[in-house]
Structure 1
Amino acid sequence: MENPALEMAPVPHRLAGLRSLVSELMILKRVRTPEQPDGLAAHGFRRAWAALVSGEDPATLALRETALALSAVQLGGMDFDVLRRVGLSPEQILGVLRRGFEAATASVDEGLRDRLRTALAEASTWVGAEPPAFVEHLVRQPRAGPPHANTQRVALLPAESHADHCYVVAVASVLVSPLFGADPTGPFVAALSHHLANAVLPDTGGHGNQLLGEHLAPLMARITEQVLDTLPSELAHRVREARRLLSHIDTPEARAFHAANTLDRVLETDAHARAAGFTPRQALEDLEFTHDEPIRAYENAVLAAVGLSH
């Protein structure tokens, strides 16, 4: 008899259309600005937790953060605050953010895209409190990289932080949710909170955790509860409920979270592999690295003179 927990498991081709977009979310971990030296993903992680402790509805927050992240895929650090500081009006800023959003979202489920557009239009009106203290620990705590027993650890540098990982998984959870018929709110909150223990416990990877043996489960549970106890009681309850998704794949929401978590973990290594293999020829041919005409012809002549032309 077929396992009912797997009857609604995703068919690979249903996720294939989102692979490129989820890959592009990796850039949020690496784009830094003077205002956000830890990167855009860490900034989004701080912003999301600040909203949660301010009493923001998680359903509204999930859509807004996803819309802002998708705009940032195209616009980088040119967010609302930066564009306002350089003199654009709120209407002009929204127009720019919308162009970034539209350029990134061709592969997004149409119904979700409409909801994200609405959320983006309301993004400039939100003002939140400071994020809880554990957030900075997760921003500063690097992930261990892919370890395994009896093999040399692969150090992927610059290392992503737990905040980077949690934020991108949260956004990806929203993006994949329509494929599972899932409400994106639970997966989003689960993703933001699925490494709370690492606010206290340094990351040594899966194999290192296994070496804790019988201490692992009670230790992780105790630390997680200590962190949750720092949150307002109603929010702590909502986070505990969302974290129930971490231990199974029996519901659409759980499958959406685990799909997003898997994609981020593997596509993070793919991003490092692509960066390591990047060549000047790719810059010139695939990315059209030189300027537009009439300067392009001169730049191509310069490259030809030093043997770098394609």
Structure 2
Amino acid sequence: MNAPARDTASPSRLAELRPLLSELMDLKRIRTPDHPDGLAAHGFRRAWAALASGMDPRSVALRETARALAAVRLGGLDMDVLQRAGLSPLDATRVLHRGLEAVAAPLDPGLRERLSVALSQPPEETCHVPPPLFVERLVRQPRAGATSPNRPRLLVPPLESHADHCYAVAVGAVLVAPRFGASPALPFMAGLSHHLFNAALPDAGYTGESLLGEWLEPIAKRLTDAALTALPEQLAGVVRQALALTGNVDSAEARAFNAADTLDRVLELEAHARAAGFTLRQAMEDLELIHPGPLQAFGNDVLRETEVWP
């Protein structure tokens, strides 16, 4: 059941979260040999596999959010990789907690504690069910880019997929949920599932939606219903309940989901704008590309002699 819509946090809460929400965009583009489609797509697959296996949506929401936040700093250094590298499960968990703690300062204290507990849970052993078929199609389905009727489409490579977007919205919804006094499970589920129809319908953006006009809503409903047939009955019911959060701000949960959706759409383009404006000065001064250590002075001398920097 949705909590009543109310504002219980200071207006600055979202501003405090903004840098972390921006960094979530990186998970769409961090790739590893194990996960060549990116960490966000991997999380999307993993979340749906857990849900299809019968895992409680609230547990999935907290665990995936904790994993995503750890990955903001650790990248592809997840539990599997760390254990393959020789760490014990306990030591690997300690590393993951360091990643979570490195970015957790702006989080609501209660949520921060729940995420820490979720990250400490042993890996799920029952997720032997593969993700539903629509998951791979959403991984392969690119987003439309920024579109507006009667204007050229703006495509900024690399294009994010619908899986990327949905995973980032789902995790973001958990992060902003305390701002609206919302429980996290349904906003997370709405994030994962609000583009199910795009598994079959290529994304033509706002322009395409405008041209579809009166046919958009029945098409989206028909294709969403078709996707839901791939889910166990109980899970399909939860997804339908979550999808009721879209298109309105009538409850705290709806506000959390729609806030996360809005933020992801804009912060995705902001990430591209930030990358386009990147300078060597930022790399050398802000990021200390030649890291502190025994070779730093030598490296800086080489760059100075070759007139690369400064």
> What range is the shorter-chain TM-score in?
over 0.9
Query: Are the structure 2 counterparts of residues 11 and 275 from structure 1 closer, same or farther at C-alpha, using a change threshold of 3 Å?
Result: same
Residue matched to 2:152: 152
1:128-167 aligned at under 5 Å gives the runs: 128=127, 129-167=129-167
Q: Tell me the CA shift for residue 9 of structure 1.
A: 9.5
Superposition TM-score, scaled by structure 2 size? 0.96
SS in 1 for 2:308: coil
Residue matched to 1:201: 201
Residue matched to 1:35: 34
Q: Percent identity?
A: 58
Query: Are the structure 2 counterparts of residues 125 and 131 from structure 1 closer, same or farther at C-alpha, using a change threshold of 3 Å?
Result: closer
Q: Tell me the CA shift for residue 215 of structure 1.
A: 1.2
Superposed CA deviations along residues 274-308 of structure 1, whole A, max 9, x for unmatched, are: 11111111100100000323211111111112323
Residue matched to 2:79: 80
1:39-118 aligned at under 5 Å gives the runs: 39-118=38-117
Superposed CA deviations along residues 171-212 of structure 1, whole A, max 9, x for unmatched, are: 010000011110011100000000000000000101111101
Contact conserved, 1:197 with 1:227, CA < 8 A, in 2?
yes
Mapped to 1, the partners of 2:85 and 2:20 lie a distance apart of: 29
Residue matched to 2:212: 212
Query: Are the structure 2 counterparts of residues 81 and 56 from structure 1 closer, same or farther at C-alpha, using a change threshold of 3 Å?
Result: same
1:21-32 aligned at under 5 Å gives the runs: 21-32=20-31
Mapped to 2, the partners of 1:21 and 1:224 lie a distance apart of: 31
Mapped to 2, the partners of 1:73 and 1:259 lie a distance apart of: 21
Q: Tell me the CA shift for residue 97 of structure 1.
A: 0.5
Mapped to 2, the partners of 1:285 and 1:163 lie a distance apart of: 35
Residue matched to 1:293: 293
Q: Name the amino acid aligned to 1:28.
A: L
Superposed CA deviations along residues 145-172 of structure 1, whole A, max 9, x for unmatched, are: 1101222211110000000000011001
Mapped to 2, the partners of 1:248 and 1:152 lie a distance apart of: 29
Mapped to 1, the partners of 2:125 and 2:168 lie a distance apart of: 21
Residue matched to 1:279: 279
| Larger RCO (CA under 8 A, 6+ residues apart) | 2
Q: Tell me the CA shift for residue 12 of structure 1.
A: 4.6
SS in 2 for 1:223: helix
Mapped to 2, the partners of 1:7 and 1:66 lie a distance apart of: 23
Mapped to 1, the partners of 2:275 and 2:242 lie a distance apart of: 35
1:231-250 aligned at under 5 Å gives the runs: 231-250=231-250
1:118-129 aligned at under 5 Å gives the runs: 118-128=117-127, 129=129
Mapped to 2, the partners of 1:131 and 1:294 lie a distance apart of: 48
1:218-237 aligned at under 5 Å gives the runs: 218-237=218-237
Of 289-298 and 254-263, deviating more is 289-298
Q: Name the amino acid aligned to 2:12.
A: H
Residue matched to 2:19: 20
Mapped to 1, the partners of 2:119 and 2:6 lie a distance apart of: 35
Mapped to 1, the partners of 2:184 and 2:144 lie a distance apart of: 28
Q: Which 4+ stretches in 1 moved above 4 angstroms?
A: 9-12
Contact conserved, 2:6 with 2:252, CA < 8 A, in 1?
no
Mapped to 1, the partners of 2:261 and 2:122 lie a distance apart of: 26
Q: Tell me the CA shift for residue 123 of structure 1.
A: 4.5
Residue matched to 2:190: 190
Contact conserved, 1:27 with 1:73, CA < 8 A, in 2?
yes
